[in-house]
Amino acid sequence: MIDLQHIRKVFNEGQPNEYIAVHDITLNIEARQVTVLKGPSGSGKTTLLSILGCMARPTAGRIRLEDREITSLPERFLTEIRRSTFGFIFQQFNLLRGISVLENVMLPAYPLGVPFTALRSQARRLLELFNLAHKALAKVEWLSGGEAQRVAIARALVNDPVVIIADEPTAHLDTKLSREFMEIMRNFKSQGKTILIASHDPIVHESDVVDRVVQMRDGRITDPGVH
Amino acid sequence: MNKLIEKQRHIIDFTLSSLWRRKGRNLALMLVYTVVVFSLGSVMFFTQALKNEAALILSGTPEIVVQKMVAGRHELIPVTYAQKIEKIRGVKAVKPRLWGYYFDRITRANYTFMVPEDMSLINNEIIIGSGIARIRVVGRGNALLLRTYDGKPFSYLIKGVLSPDSELLSADLILISEAGFHRLFGISPKNATDFTVTVLNKKEIPTIAAKIVDLLPDTRAITRDEILRTYDAVFDWRGGIIIAILAGAVLAFLIFAWDKAAGLSAEEKREIGILKAIGWETGDVLHMKFWEGMIISLSSFLAGVILAYLHIFTTSASLFAPVLKGWATLYPNFSLTPFISVYQVAILFCFTVIPYTVATIIPSWKAATIDPDLIMRT
């Protein structure tokens, strides 16, 4: 589904603080599978996840999304792809404080111009799915860690993406909530969604939901393995 | 098209809730913004309305005023000069005028004395402006004690008080009989303060003014247009003083606005990153910031302009009176005729709303063009 060819990512190129985050990575992500990028901090997982999700451009190399070359697309088209194809769940959840849970979930769909009532129904349906309907009008800063993460997941799903990308999703969750998260991923997988997770949490990469664990270290793939 | 409208609606909705989230900061900003627009708007409305008012009243002033000059200063003019001026072709009438200033030690105010042409006042009768009536706490039928030129006290009988409608020009005015004027100032009946000249053909005013000065080289002839220009200049100058004083406030506002609007906080930058990461385009973020700038600046602008309008036309510019009206002790108490120049409001709009909106968008554009993956690292 997503094909990376000789991807390299350099930060602050040509400057004294130049840093190579990803070295010559070639990787193919299969559709409808759960793939985990596993590795210690600084191994390049997040950078690779950003490139896979069209959030950052590689310094060198090529990316194909379902046979479409997207490496050199202008920002506008990349945003369009990002919006329609990917749903992101961030490590810090990255919810906007001060606005309601419902508004947070609806945010990714605002630029699409979906009629308000249809959008609100869709967001409410997702909140019901995650047992958060009663919190729809609450501000996100009043939520517990588990609730905040479920809001972040609902937000990632509002545009009905094909691929779900999660960066260290269990970093701020206890064991019970981490297992619940993986159950939600299992559910998504059964719906035919492609799931990409960067994590070094054993609850994630040892889960039977996971199809493939890609081992990374120092910006390189040390084991492209299959779980 | 519907999608486009729906999208803008969503963005405006989100902008409003964003503004509400930072209500303390935004309300402070709007307050300062409103005060600046209010101050500038007040000065603009006031000077313009005053100029209009003055022009309206001065339209009834004499076409030419002739004054005698000695060593570059205004001197009493012999009434015999009037016969010489009357002989100039095109002159309709020449009338001597008697007027002067009087410093009242009790109230520390200057009064203007004038002998009216079309009012029959006898001996010690006077009619006073409403400003004087207020400051001396007197009215019709009371006596007003004044000191004559040789220091002797003399009692004048107040026959009436001038209508407050004309207070812009008559707050400090005292109309007096010719005999009373001569007694008060010790001026000989052979002299007048100056002459008013009316002409047959209005187009000839400048020519006749030039002929008067040719015939009587020790005089000056002031035309009505020159008086109007002087009034304009005086009110522009007064407006200028206020603007100069306000310049500091405006500068402070610009720095404040730049800091608040332009300098995005780390929290705002993070939010822009989140919006981009979840699928907002750079253009969507800029739309949001545009609406944010417009909502703040437009509502502050409207509030400032409306408050300035109320300040000038309903409270008679109570805050700026000391500088703008120009009287030291005797402030005229009058209501201005509401007048708004679209041109001036447009200028005010251009100098406040546009810079603020631009100041809001530029830093957001900088923040919105960065790669959204930075948000993954915070």
DSSP letters spanning A78-132 = HHHHHHHHEEEE-TT--PPTTSBHHHHHHGGGGGGT--HHHHHHHHHHHHHHTT-
- For residue B340, the SS3 value is coil
pLDDT attached to residue A227: 44
Out of B14, B279, B371, the one facing A83 most closely (by C-beta) is B279
Out of B2, B7, B376, the one facing A110 most closely (by C-beta) is B7
Q: Is the domain of B304 the same as that of B237?
A: yes
Please say which residue of B205, B222, B239 terminates a domain. Answer: B222
- Per DSSP, the residues of B33-86 read HHHHHHHHHHHHHHHHHHHHHHHHHHTTS-SEEEEEEETTEEE-EETTHHHHHH
What single-letter amino acid sits at A11?
F
- For residue B197, the SS3 value is strand
**A111 to B279: CB separation less than 8 angstroms, yes or no:** yes
CA A112 to chain centre: 20
Q: Is the domain of B244 the same as that of B211?
A: no
- Which residues of chain B are under the pLDDT cut of 50? 328, 330
Please say which residue of B172, B189, B222 terminates a domain. Answer: B222
A224: distance to nearest CA of chain B, Å?
A: 23
Q: Is the domain of B371 the same as that of B237?
A: yes
Other CB atoms within 10 Å distance of the CB of residue A212: 16
Among residues B157, B141, B327, the alpha carbon closest in space to that of B234 is found at B327
Report if residue A153 sits inside a domain. yes
**For residues A163 and A196, what is the distance between their CA atoms, to the nearest angstrom?**
7
- Six token digits for residue B206: 């400048």
What single-letter amino acid sits at A10?
V
Interface test with B, best of A11, A45, A55 (most B CBs within 10 A): A55
Residue A40 CA: distances (Å) to CA of A111, A198, A204, B89, B283: 36, 10, 14, 107, 37
Q: Is the domain of B6 the same as that of B54?
A: yes
Query: Residue B376: its chain A contacts at CB < 8 A?
Result: 46, 49-50, 55, 90-91, 167
- Per the document, the length of chain B is 378
Domain span at residue A117 reads: 30-57+75-223
Q: Is the domain of B171 the same as that of B305?
A: no
**For residues A52 and A163, what is the distance between their CA atoms, to the nearest angstrom?**
10
Q: Is the domain of B188 the same as that of B324?
A: no
Q: Is the domain of B249 the same as that of B345?
A: yes
Among residues A60, B370, A204, the alpha carbon closest in space to that of B378 is found at B370
Q: Is the domain of B193 the same as that of B336?
A: no
Task: Please enumerate in sequence order all residues whose Cβ is within 8 A of that of A2, keeping only pairs 6 or more positions apart, or say none.
Answer: A28, A29, A52, A63, A64, A65, A163
To 10 degrees, what angle do helices A75-85 and B282-313 make?
100
Q: Quick check: A94 contacting B, CB < 8 Å?
A: yes
Q: Beta partners for B103? A: B110
**B281 to A75: CB separation less than 8 angstroms, yes or no:** yes
Q: Is the domain of B260 the same as that of B341?
A: yes
Between positions 107 and 166 of A, the ones with CB within 8 A of B are 107-108, 110-116, 119, 155, 159
Query: Residue B281: its chain A contacts at CB < 8 A?
Result: 75-76, 79, 111
- Which residues of chain A are under the pLDDT cut of 50? 227
Q: Is the domain of B94 the same as that of B158?
A: yes
Domain span at residue B318 reads: 2-58+230-377
Report if residue A151 sits inside a domain. yes
CATH number at residue B180: 2.40.40.20
pLDDT attached to residue B122: 82
The kind and range of the H/E element at B168 are helix B167-170
pLDDT attached to residue B202: 87
Among residues A165, A224, A182, A210, the alpha carbon closest in space to that of A35 is found at A210
**For residues A2 and A160, what is the distance between their CA atoms, to the nearest angstrom?**
18
**For residues B205 and B61, what is the distance between their CA atoms, to the nearest angstrom?**
13
Other CB atoms within 10 Å distance of the CB of residue A74: 8
pLDDT attached to residue A4: 92
**For residues B257 and A214, what is the distance between their CA atoms, to the nearest angstrom?**
50
pLDDT attached to residue B317: 76
Q: Beta partners for B104? A: B109
Complex ipTM, two decimals? 0.87
Residue with tokens 């063009």: B369
Out of A56, A90, A92, the one facing B371 most closely (by C-beta) is A56
Q: Is the domain of B52 the same as that of B87?
A: no
Q: Is the domain of B245 the same as that of B271?
A: yes
**For residues B178 and B249, what is the distance between their CA atoms, to the nearest angstrom?**
51
Report if residue A11 sits inside a domain. no
The total domain count for chain B is: 2
The total domain count for chain A is: 1
Please say which residue of B222, B239, B258 terminates a domain. Answer: B222
Q: Beta partners for B67? A: B220
CATH number at residue A112: 3.40.50.300
- For residue A86, the SS3 value is strand
